[in-house]
Structure 1
Amino acid sequence: MAVMMQAFYWDAPKNDNKEHEWWNFVSEKVEALGKAGINALWLPPVSKASSDTSMGYDPYDYFDLGDFDQKGGTKTFFGNRAELEALIKKAHEHGVGLYADMVINHNSGADEEEVNPLDGQKRWTKFNPKSGKFPRDWNCFHPSRYEHVMMEGENFAGFPHLCHRNPAVYTAMFEYARFLIEELGFDGFRFDFVKGFGAWMIGLLSKYRYVKDGNEFTPYVVGEYWSGEQDINAWIDKVNSYTDNQIAAFDFPLRYQLKKVCDEPNYDLRNLTYGGNVVMNRPAHAATFVDNHDMGADTIVNDKLMAYSFILVHEGYPSIFWYDYYNNGLARPGTPNGIDALIEAHHKYAGGDSQILHADPDLYVMQRVGWKDDSTDQRGLVYVLNNLGDKWSGTSVKTKWPNTRFVPVAWDGHDAAHPDERTTDGEGNAEFPAPPRGYAIYVPVAQDTNKDELIAGLQTGE
């Protein structure tokens, strides 16, 4: 499976002194990210919002990408269309895809208030965008003549809530999605706050017959349904009933389990085996992550690489957070102790089914059994997560590999000493340890493999 990166964090242009220059800044990183094994970048909303220093989650003019002087300036917080197109072109040249953040349920920054005749209430619902595309009034929002109920989902922050059953809204959203894929070159969508509108809308936007480079194109689609496992599973079932595109959801339940692993030293690791998340039950529909732009004061603060190690060895589509990779310095290139080494292990070894070999309150051991076809050869791995804070810990487990030498390729913890090699007996048994409050990944190798060359190759991507 691929690895994506959320290529921003809240107020990133301001905090990194790149206001209105974020697209250029990300572009400078693209080549290195591609070499590190990042397959796609999830970008923030690209359209002009209610101000030119907004993160874009309060859209005003969907078709102004930073080229019209409105809402405080010409560029968006991130740049303009030419700079965005240059970023997309460069990313594609280095084998990196782009996912657009779709905010299609609420708007902000209206030009006028007006009375909605259906309920007599006055709201900011008159929009006259300078792009000239998708002007709208009260009938484009809830309540509208095109509905028999007030709205289809939850409201957000009191913003006007688009009524997708209005043909003008429906048509504009299709045109916006087509514009992003076919004209700008995006490769997929991340839908924001999908609680706020009908799943049918995402299903139809996903099923639209897009054309890229003369060929029909199916985008990757993932939704943000911030809730528990049952609610997310129900949404996945519903949205996929409209399309065969295998729409995914971010695995919030897993993220909160991993926060407890990292920030609660006595958290029982057996909880990771009981399900309660998306990836263990339906991995093809799970986008896994550790933190994102919405977490605010609820970010993981301790031993965060434990969480990254977990999502990068299990199934699902893992997402790396820009702030962790760069600002928190967790990439650690050229070492076996950071995100870069975990990404390499993910690509080279994390194939096939996950099988839990051992779980107790303080120790979790899992194997990926490997996968091989005409284009992929992932030999599998053994993963150890140690919750004890004061000592290395491991146990003897029965792997699928008898009489096999194992070499550690990625590890970290409160003791970053190099783990020893392991060799299984004739039945596949061996003890695999990990550092205190840390993890270790062991991979099966031929008996004559040079350990140092293997680790060096993993760190350089060779």
Structure 2
Amino acid sequence: MAVMMQAFFWDCPKIDDQEHNWWNHVASKVEDLSKAGINSLWLPPVSKAASNTSMGYDPYDYFDLGDFDQKGGTKTWYGSGDELKALIAKAHANGLGLYADMVINHNSGADEEEVNPLDGETRWTKFNPKSGRFPRDWNCFHPSRYEHVMMEGENFAGFPHLCHRNPHVYAAMFEYSRMLIEELGFDGFRFDFVKGFGAWIIGILSKYRYVKDGKEFTPWVVGEYWSGDQDIDAWLEKVNSYTDTQISAFDFPLRYQLKKVCDQPNYDLRNLTYGENIVMKRPLHAATFVDNHDMGGDEIVNDKLLAYSFIMVHEGYPSVFWYDYYNNGLARPLTPNGIDALIQAHHKYAGGDSEILHADPDLYIMQRHGWKDDTTDQAGLVYVLNNLGDKWSGTSVKTKWANQKFAPIAWDGHGLYGAVAHPDERTTDADGNAEFPAPPRGYCIYAPVF
């Protein structure tokens, strides 16, 4: 499986001193990210929002990529349309895919207030964007004459809520999606706040027969359904009924479990085995992550690499957060103790079925069985997660490999004066048994040596 990077964080242009220059800044990192093993970049919303210093989650003009002087300036907070196109071209030249953030639930920054005759309420719903594309009025929002209920889904922050059943809105969403895929070259979509609108619109936008580089193209699609496992599971069931089961969801339940692993002393690691997350129930539809731009105030504070180690060895499509990789300094290139080493372990070894070999409150051990076909050769691995804060911990487990030497390829944890000792090689006996330890409050990934 591939590895995605969320190539932004909240207020990133301001915090990193890259206002109106973020596309260029990301482009400057593309070659290094490709060499590190990143396969795709999830970019923030590309359209002009209610101001030109907005993160883009309050869209105003879907077709202004930073080329029209409106809402405080010409560029978006990230840059111009040409700079975005240059980033996409450079990413593709270095083997990276691009996912567009789709904010189609709500709009902001309207030019005029209007009275909605259906309920008599006055709202900011008159939009006259300078791109000239997708002007809209009250009938494009809930309540609309095109619906028999007040709205589909939840309202977001009181913003005008688009009615996708209006043919004008419906057509604009297709036009926008086609622009992103067919004109700009994006490779997939991340849909924001999917609990706010009908799953059917994602289904039809995903299954449109896009043409890219002269061939029909199917985008990769993931939805942000910020809720518990049962709600996400029900949404996946519904949205994939409109498609060939191509839609994934971010695994919020797993993320909150991993936050407890990292931030709560003595958290029972057996909780990771109970299937209350998406990756355990629907591994092919799980987009796993550790933190993202929405987690302000609820970030993982301690031992965050424990969480990254978990998502990199299990099934699912793992995402690396730009802020962790760069600002928090967790990439740690050319060492076995950071995200770069975990990415390499993911690519080279984390294939085949997962099997939990041991789980108690303080120790979790699993193996990946490995996978080999015409294009992939992943040997498998043994992963150890140690929750004890004061000592190395491991136990003897029965693996699938008999008389096999294993070498540690990635590890981190607590140690004397901040130094983490190098784990030793391990060799299984004739029955596949061996003891596999990990550092205090740490992890270790062991790979078979052939």
Distance 1:239 1:194 in 2: 10
Give matches, 1:169-188, under 5 Å: 169-188=169-188
Q: What's 1:420 paired with?
A: 424
Q: Does 1:443 align with 2:447?
A: yes
Name stretches of at least 5 consecutive residues in structure 2 with no aligned partner: none
Deviates more, 1:243-252 or 1:386-395: 243-252
TM superposition score normalised by structure 1: 0.96
* SS of aligned partner of 1:173: helix
Q: Does 1:40 align with 2:35?
A: no
CA deviation after TM superposition for structure 1 residue 67, in Å: 0.4
Report if aligned partners of 1:349, 1:379 keep a CA contact under 8 Å in 2: yes
Which whole-Å deviations, capped at 9, do the CAs of 1:175-206 have from their partners, x for residues lacking one?
Answer: 00000000000000000000000000000000
Give matches, 1:238-253, under 5 Å: 238-253=238-253
Q: What's 2:350 paired with?
A: 350
Identity of aligned residues (%): 84
* SS of aligned partner of 1:105: coil
Q: Residues 245 and 179 from structure 1, CA distance in 2 versus in 1: closer, same or farther, beyond 3 angstroms?
A: farther
Distance 2:322 2:182 in 1: 27
Give matches, 1:297-376, under 5 Å: 297-376=297-376
Q: Does 1:256 align with 2:256?
A: yes
AA in 2 matched with 1:103: V
Which whole-Å deviations, capped at 9, do the CAs of 1:328-384 have from their partners, x for residues lacking one?
Answer: 000000000000000000000000000000000000000000000001000000000
Distance 1:105 1:228 in 2: 20
Which whole-Å deviations, capped at 9, do the CAs of 1:45-85 have from their partners, x for residues lacking one?
Answer: 00000000000000000000000000000000000110000
Moved over 6 A (4+): none
Report if aligned partners of 1:207, 1:245 keep a CA contact under 8 Å in 2: no
Q: What's 2:205 paired with?
A: 205
* SS of aligned partner of 1:357: strand
Distance 2:291 2:232 in 1: 18
AA in 2 matched with 1:160: P
Report if aligned partners of 1:8, 1:322 keep a CA contact under 8 Å in 2: yes
Distance 1:336 1:273 in 2: 26
Distance 1:324 1:136 in 2: 39
CA deviation after TM superposition for structure 1 residue 265, in Å: 1.4
Q: What's 2:391 paired with?
A: 391
Which whole-Å deviations, capped at 9, do the CAs of 1:255-300 have from their partners, x for residues lacking one?
Answer: 0000000000110000000110000011000000000000001000
Q: What's 1:265 paired with?
A: 265
Name stretches of at least 5 consecutive residues in structure 1 with no aligned partner: 447-462
Report if aligned partners of 1:424, 1:430 keep a CA contact under 8 Å in 2: yes
Q: What's 1:455 paired with?
A: none
Q: What's 2:433 paired with?
A: 429
Q: What's 1:460 paired with?
A: none
Which whole-Å deviations, capped at 9, do the CAs of 1:221-244 have from their partners, x for residues lacking one?
Answer: 000000000000000000000111
* SS of aligned partner of 1:298: coil
CA deviation after TM superposition for structure 1 residue 245, in Å: 4.7
Which whole-Å deviations, capped at 9, do the CAs of 1:94-143 have from their partners, x for residues lacking one?
Answer: 00000000000100000000100001110000000000000000000000
Distance 1:16 1:342 in 2: 25
AA in 2 matched with 1:125: T
Distance 2:330 2:261 in 1: 18
AA in 1 matched with 2:335: T
* SS of aligned partner of 2:306: helix
CA deviation after TM superposition for structure 1 residue 246, in Å: 1.5
CA deviation after TM superposition for structure 1 residue 394, in Å: 0.2
Task: Give the paired residue count.
Answer: 446
Report if aligned partners of 1:206, 1:245 keep a CA contact under 8 Å in 2: no
Distance 1:211 1:408 in 2: 45
AA in 2 matched with 1:445: V
* SS of aligned partner of 1:331: coil
Report if aligned partners of 1:251, 1:279 keep a CA contact under 8 Å in 2: yes
* SS of aligned partner of 1:54: coil
* SS of aligned partner of 1:395: strand
Distance 2:119 2:182 in 1: 40
Distance 1:109 1:267 in 2: 45
